[in-house]
Structure 1
Amino acid sequence: MRTMIVALVAFLAAGCSLGAASGSPGSGDAETVVVGYQSKTINTVTAGTLLRSLGLLEKRLGRRYRVEWQDYDTGAPITAKMVAGKIDIGSMGDYPLLINASRTQPLGDGRTDLVSVTGYNLRGGLNMVVVPPSSPARTLADLKGRAVSASAGSAGHGTLVQALEKAGLDPAADVETVNQLPQVGASALQAGTVQGYAQFVAWPGLLVFKKQARLLYDGSALGVPTFHGVVVRHAYAERHPDVVQAFLQAQIDATRYLHEHPVQAAESVAKVTGLPAEVVYLYNGRDGISTFDVTVKPQLVAALEHDVPYLRKIGTDFTDVDVDAFVDDAPLRKAYGPSYDADTASTVNPARITGRDATCGTQVSGPGRAGEIWLAGEQDTRPAATPTCLLRQLAAAAAGGRTVRAAYVPDAATGTHWFAGDSVWVRDPSAPKDDALLPFTTRDGAEAYLEDHPKAAIVSYEDALRAAAGGAAR
């Protein structure tokens, strides 16, 4: 990673910074650019944590500007400071983005513009609901009459409201939603003062990885796109188009780095945030839950329109938003270049699992089936062609005394990547040998599969490992 950073810094210093192009004044004359971000919301790392750690924005800007980075837990304080003119550029999730637009559009030139996307999931997998490991709840409907922690107006809160309605519950009457910051809600879940926890990336994965929670509801089951994006104060962008161009070009640089070096990027983000690298990689790695792509896709704009009615229900003093007026990808088009339209139309994750599965002796064929194993002491992950093949690799690693840092498998129905040891496994004797053991993020998802496959049965993770190791998966 150090070699790549040095090379990228040399490239930028050679002629890509604004300072080099315009004859920079001394650092004492530098104008401050204030960027608000959420370090632990790792779906925004290409506009925040990773971008900052690589120094890409500073290199693009040169000595003419000084960057002041302000870190927050949620998007709400970023919006408040943008309204006050104290943050110039910010990144946040889709629901906070709409609240941001709602607060600023009445201000005329004080409004904000959505100029790029950091990461997205077309099915909604960035938001999840977890419960304590010992909870008797098996479906979201089992939380009726219970208290659920969520950050009001957040993407996690929005998903909870939509999912409860889909489950036949009244979000206002059937569940008590407790407005808490993510870290406060996590403590409340451990203390038992709330029985559920609805949050955004990476909090659900973190609690499950630490064995402090179990996944109850995967946002992917909702089938509604969710994403995080970048907003700029319109008046600031009018005065400083050069800064906006530098930011977007630096974000493109950071996105490319993440695609080409996902493990190193995860380690870098983990070092800065204190999050486990294994959790960061779950979301930000190859074929991870998040697809990092700066382009503003029509599906994501449509998702904003879809989310507006739910924000009204949440009760966040939300007023109508002109989504079309809020979205402005013209600066990004300029920064991106001629391939913008083609890349906007594509929803293929640029960071793909590739290679040969040595255990099953086959090439990885594509997303939805492939997984990865991260062994201790190794600098990269190992590909697995199918979840069944991954279990065989895990069994072989255990037999050889190897320590596994993490193993990732895609949900057999939604494709959401999850930890193999925390998945719900189904054994289907009617499936081909290398596909006979199937993982699901939730028990609800596994039971839906059983309805259409009467010969299949839910098995424990340990039994799935033994079946794979013994070659008796069928």
Structure 2
Amino acid sequence: MNVTRPLRNAALPALLTATALLALTACGTSEADSASGSGAGGTVSVRIPDPGNSGVLALGKKDGSLDKALGKVGAKVEWTGSAGPFAPAAQAMNADQLDIATGSITSGITSLAQRPGFRFFTAVDPDAAGEGILVRDGSGIESVADLVGRKVAVNQGGTGEYLLLKALAKANIPADKVQRVYLRPDQTAAVFNAGKVDAWAVWATYAVAEIGSGKAHFVADGAAIGSDNYSLNAVRTGFAEQHPEVVKALYQYLHDASAEEKRNPAAYLNVFTDVGPTAVTGKAAEVQTGFTAQGGTVDPIGPEDTARFKAVAAFYAEQKVTKTEVDVAAHLLDVEKLT
């Protein structure tokens, strides 16, 4: 792979679609296939959640470019389940039902605190523009300080809880001054729009529709919060050990495609359909392409990234999200050294 590391800036998750709202389901394969990682004719099957209607993998699926790239190392994609939260994807990798998944460093840390069967092999810089604390227009909440005494929806142990805790810490507000309401991200929009919570700590996958509606905005975005919430790609440990050349080829594809997506984000929206619930249209499309254009690319994990991962792990331990500080560095792959 050509690896002159580009200037990296704020990012959106580049492996799985930004609009996939469904949880990972139906990931099983036979034990014989998963043990060998190979299908007919010795071709290695790479089990990846279906990417939905937008993003790098959606386009790669539609035009066949991903299978073409992986075919050079004797591999092909087996689309399985749907893109969604990282926690169930991590469980699927641990159970040898999935080979590749995307998640944030925050959800990654809580998954690593269990008994992980995966390692991270790429990083996309924190999304300064597309994540933050979302409030409804006219709510009267004009700063993080205004969240005191309010209810804020977060996904437990993941990006939402991290963003809220990080924002409160930066504003010197004790965490217990704000009520955290734990909700699944794909169930939160209705609760937020019904006014049952006052704010929502959220990322671009779910924020785009709300901001695009013209009825909500970030009271503090990732830049204002000082977020270290990287997007990471994870690989099942056994798969990486058996097929390092496939992991490296996948990285190369994602790196190149994410750079192209940043240059031309509209080409990666509504890949299969521009109508229906998976389509991003109108103002929401403008919001999404704007976030993507400001985003980063899929890159190797470097020393500076590892240091920031450690800072997030230390913060989570300090905030008692995890019982101890998780050693993230022990679960990283140097994709440039894979052979």
Which category of TM-score, normalised to the shorter sequence, fits these structures?
Answer: 0.7 to 0.9
User: Once the 2 structures are TM-superposed, how far is the Cα of residue 260 of structure 1 from its aligned partner?
Assistant: 4.3
User: How many residues align structurally?
Assistant: 295
Between 195-204 and 62-71, the greater mean CA deviation after superposition? 62-71
**SS of residue in 2 equivalent to 1:268:** coil
Following TM superposition, by how much is the alpha carbon of 1:213 offset from its aligned partner in structure 2, in angstroms? Answer: 1.2
Q: Does 247-256 or 299-308 show the bigger shift? A: 247-256
Which of the two has higher C-alpha Rg?
A: 1
- Per the TM alignment, residue 87 of structure 1 is displaced from its structure 2 partner at its CA by 1.2
Indicate the residue corresponding to 1:95 in structure 2.
Answer: 106
Q: CA deviation at 1:66?
A: 4.5
Match of 1:34 in 2: 47
Q: 1:26 to 1:83 in 2, by over 3 A?
A: closer
Paired with 1:165 and 1:259, the residues of 2 have a C-alpha distance of 32
1:209-220 aligned at under 5 Å gives the runs 209-220=212-223
Give 1:246 deviation, angstroms.
2.7
Residues 133 and 200 in structure 2, CA contact (< 8 A), matched pair in contact too: yes
**Secondary structure of the corresponding residue to residue 275 of structure 1:** coil
The AA in structure 1 aligned to 2:179 is E
- 1:78 correspondence with 2:82: no
SS in 2 for 1:225: coil
List per-residue Cα deviations over 1:271-324 (Å, max 9, x = no partner). Answer: 494233323202112xx1x21242324332222111113323565555542222
Aligned counterpart in structure 2 of residue 328 of structure 1, from 322, 333, 336: 333
Say yes or no: does 1:250 pair with 2:253. Answer: yes
Cα pair 2:134 2:201 within 8 Å, conserved: yes
SS in 2 for 1:136: coil
Secondary structure of the equivalent of 2:133?
strand
Q: Which residue of structure 1 lines up, in the alignment, with residue 280 of structure 2?
A: 275
Matches within 5 A, 1:68-467: 68-105=79-116, 111-117=117-123, 119-121=124-126, 124-171=128-175, 173-268=176-271, 271=274, 273-276=278-281, 277-285=285-293, 288=294, 290-312=295-317, 319-329=324-334, 331-333=335-337
Task: Describe the shift of the 1:252–1:137 C-alpha distance in structure 2 as closer, same or farther (beyond 3 A).
Answer: closer
Please give the alpha-carbon distance, in whole angstroms, between the structure 1 residues aligned to 2:126 and 2:202.
15
Separation in structure 2 between the aligned mates of residue 38 and residue 170 of structure 1, nearest angstrom: 39
**Distance in 1 of aligned mates of 2:170 and 2:137:** 24
Structure 1 distance, partners of 2:112, 2:266, is 35
Counterpart contact for 2:149–2:178, Cα < 8 Å: yes
| C-alpha spacing 1:215/1:91, structure 2 compared with 1 (3 Å) | same
- Partner SS state of residue 295, structure 1: coil
* 1:255 partner letter: S
Deviations 1:79-127 (A, max 9, x none): 111121211111111111222333235xxxxx3221112x3237x4442
For residues 39 and 149 of structure 2, the distance between their equivalents in structure 1, rounded to whole angstroms, comes to 62
CA deviations over 1:111-163 (Å, ceiling 9, x no partner): 3221112x3237x4442111111201111111111111111122232011011
- Equivalents in 2 of 1:319, 1:36: separation in Å? 31
Distance 1:314 1:49 in 2: 37
Corresponding residue number in structure 2 for 1:59? 68
TM-score for the superposition, normalised by structure 1: 0.56
Partners of 2:230 and 2:280 in 1: CA distance: 21
Residue 233 of structure 1, CA deviation:
1.6
What is the distance in 2 between the residues matched to 1:299 and 1:129?
A: 26
In 2, distance between residues paired with 1:316 and 1:150? 13
CA distance in 2, matches of 1:216, 1:244: 39
Counterpart-to-counterpart distance in 1, 2:244 and 2:194:
49
Q: Partner of 1:108 in structure 2?
A: none
Inter-partner Cα distance in structure 1 for 2:220 and 2:253: 35
Q: Which residue of 1 aligns with 2:25?
A: none
CA distance in 1, matches of 2:49, 2:234: 10
Q: Which runs of 5+ in 2 are unaligned?
A: 1-37
Cα distance in 1 for residues equivalent to 2:63 and 2:319: 38
Does the CA-based 8 Å contact 2:270-2:280 persist in structure 1? no
- What value does the CA root-mean-square deviation take over the aligned residues? 2.9
Do the aligned partners of 1:139 and 1:217 also contact (CA within 8 Å) in 2?
yes
| Contact persistence 1:81–1:87 (CA under 8 A) | yes
